[in-house]
């Protein structure tokens, strides 16, 4: 069973963030593997193990100057990586990202594509479904558990009330939630092995994409960025025997009850 996992390299969330004049996140500093994607990598490794054979590969669009994040996925156990990196991709929106990743994934046969539900920096949550459409695959979102039975995929989809059980024929695309599995820590042996695993860097010309990419092809733009409102100080209430009523009244006022 061959599984492709989409992995995004993001600026370290622990470091201060800044934006360029076009409201794009400054990605010139250290990049790390988005924690959201460690779940997809782990899920893929477990599915390939359960299938008794096959390979996990990862694909990423972004910087090839710093590939430490992609190497982290290789250190966890993925066999190979493809990074699509090209100056002309700067300012790409989610749809262009999906077109680029679809072209990169379609170069080799696969049984399943995994992605996270949303990334930790852009978090539009739209890329995986666009990717499924472009690859002509069934798309199953919000997976909290994934199993493969023969050529059928069985997924539990997280919902507000519980979960839906969904099946689809392979190949398919699944976006997984955090918590679908517990991602492993890379072992020292894994980290050392990752240094020599194949990592292909492709440009736009290698993918034969039609139409403009990057800012020139983007139909979405971030038009403004505002700092999040500072957290307000809370109100203090002293219980004078009517604490429960006050809590209920407060919850009713914010329509929780
Ligand atoms: C030169 C360059 C500059 C870029 N600048 C920015 C930028 O400033 N801000 C920004 O947010 N993005 C940037 N990108 C990345 C790209 O445009 C975004 O990945 C895309 O818009 C998807 O948005 P999202 O993160 O909201 O996706 P979501 O739909 O929230 O992502 C869901 C999941 O899809 C997968 N996925 C998403 N993006 C990628 C990716 N690039 N590679 C592999 N898997 C992916 C991951 O599994 C992710 O968890 C840049 C890319 C390049 C090449």
DSSP string, 145-212: EEEEETTEEEEEEE-SSSEEEEEEESSEEEEE-TTSS-PPPPPHHHHHHHTTS-EEEE-GGGTT--S-
Q: What is the CATH number of domain 2-253?
A: 3.40.50.620
Cβ–ligand 1 contact at 44 (below 6 Å) = no
> What average pLDDT does the structure give for the chain?
94
Confidence of residue 227 (pLDDT cuts 50, 70, 90): confident
Cβ–ligand 1 contact at 55 (below 6 Å) = no
Mean pLDDT of 226-253: 89
Quick one: which atom of ligand 1 is closest to the CA of 24? 8
Give the closest residue to 116 by CA, choosing from 134, 105, 129.
129
Give the closest residue to 142 by CA, choosing from 124, 127, 157, 126.
157
What burial class does residue 13 get, using C-beta atoms within 10 Å of its C-beta: 0-12 exposed, 13-18 middle, 19+ buried?
exposed
Confidence of residue 21 (pLDDT cuts 50, 70, 90): confident
Cβ–ligand 1 contact at 7 (below 6 Å) = yes
Query: 120: CA distance to ligand 1 center in Å?
Result: 10
Query: 96: CA distance to ligand 1 center in Å?
Result: 10
pLDDT tens by residue, 181-224: 999 999 999 999 999 999 999 999 999 988 899 988 898 888 99
- In sequence order, the 6+-apart residues with CB closer than 8 A to the CB of 211 are 217
Confidence of residue 16 (pLDDT cuts 50, 70, 90): confident
Residue of minimum CA distance from atom 53 in ligand 1: 62
Query: 150: CA distance to ligand 1 center in Å?
Result: 32
Confidence of residue 25 (pLDDT cuts 50, 70, 90): confident
What's the pLDDT at 15?
A: 86
Cβ–ligand 1 contact at 83 (below 6 Å) = no
What is the residue extent of each domain of the chain? 2-253
Cβ–ligand 1 contact at 89 (below 6 Å) = yes
The full length of the chain comes to 257
Mean pLDDT of 24-52: 94
Residue of minimum CA distance from atom 48 in ligand 1: 119
pLDDT at 17 over 90: no
pLDDT tens by residue, 59-118: 999 989 999 999 999 999 999 999 999 999 988 999 999 999 999 999 999 999 999 999
Query: 91: CA distance to ligand 1 center in Å?
Result: 10
C-alpha span between 88 and 216 (Å, rounded): 9
Q: Which residue has the tokens 């407060």?
A: 250
Q: Do the strands 163-169 and 152-158 form a parallel or antiparallel pair, or are they unpaired?
A: antiparallel
Cβ–ligand 1 contact at 92 (below 6 Å) = yes
Query: 27: CA distance to ligand 1 center in Å?
Result: 11
What's the pLDDT at 38?
A: 98
Q: Of 119, 174, 183, 202, which is best to mutate to test ligand 1, by the most ligand atoms within 8 angstroms of its C-beta?
A: 119
């Amino acid at each position: 069973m061959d599984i492709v996992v989409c992995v995004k390299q993001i600026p370290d969330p622990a470091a201060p963030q800044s934006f360029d004049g076009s409201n794009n996140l400054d990605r010139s500093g250290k990049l790390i593997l988005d924690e959201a994607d460690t779940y997809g990598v782990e899920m893929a490794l477990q599915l390939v193990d359960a299938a008794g054979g096959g390979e996990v590969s990862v694909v990423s669009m972004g910087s090839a100057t710093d590939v430490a994040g992609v190497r982290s996925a290789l250190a966890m156990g993925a066999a190979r990586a493809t990074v699509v990196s090209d100056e002309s991709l700067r300012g790409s929106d989610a749809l262009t990202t999906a077109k680029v990743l679809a072209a990169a994934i379609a170069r080799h046969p696969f049984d399943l594509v995994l992605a996270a539900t949303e990334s930790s920096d852009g978090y539009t949550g739209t890329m995986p479904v666009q990717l499924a459409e472009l690859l002509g695959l069934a798309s199953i979102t919000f997976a909290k558990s994934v199993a493969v039975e023969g050529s059928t995929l069985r997924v539990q989809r997280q919902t507000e009330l519980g979960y839906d059980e969904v099946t689809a024929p392979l190949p398919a695309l699944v976006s997984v939630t955090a918590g679908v599995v517990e991602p492993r820590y890379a072992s020292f042996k894994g980290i050392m092995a990752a240094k020599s695993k194949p990592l292909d860097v492709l440009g736009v010309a290698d993918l034969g994409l039609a139409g403009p990419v990057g800012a020139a092809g983007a139909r979405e733009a971030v038009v403004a960025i505002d700092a999040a409102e500072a957290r307000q100080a809370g109100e203090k209430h002293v219980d004078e025997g009517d604490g429960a009523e006050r809590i209920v009244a407060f919850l009713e006022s914010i329509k929780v009850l």
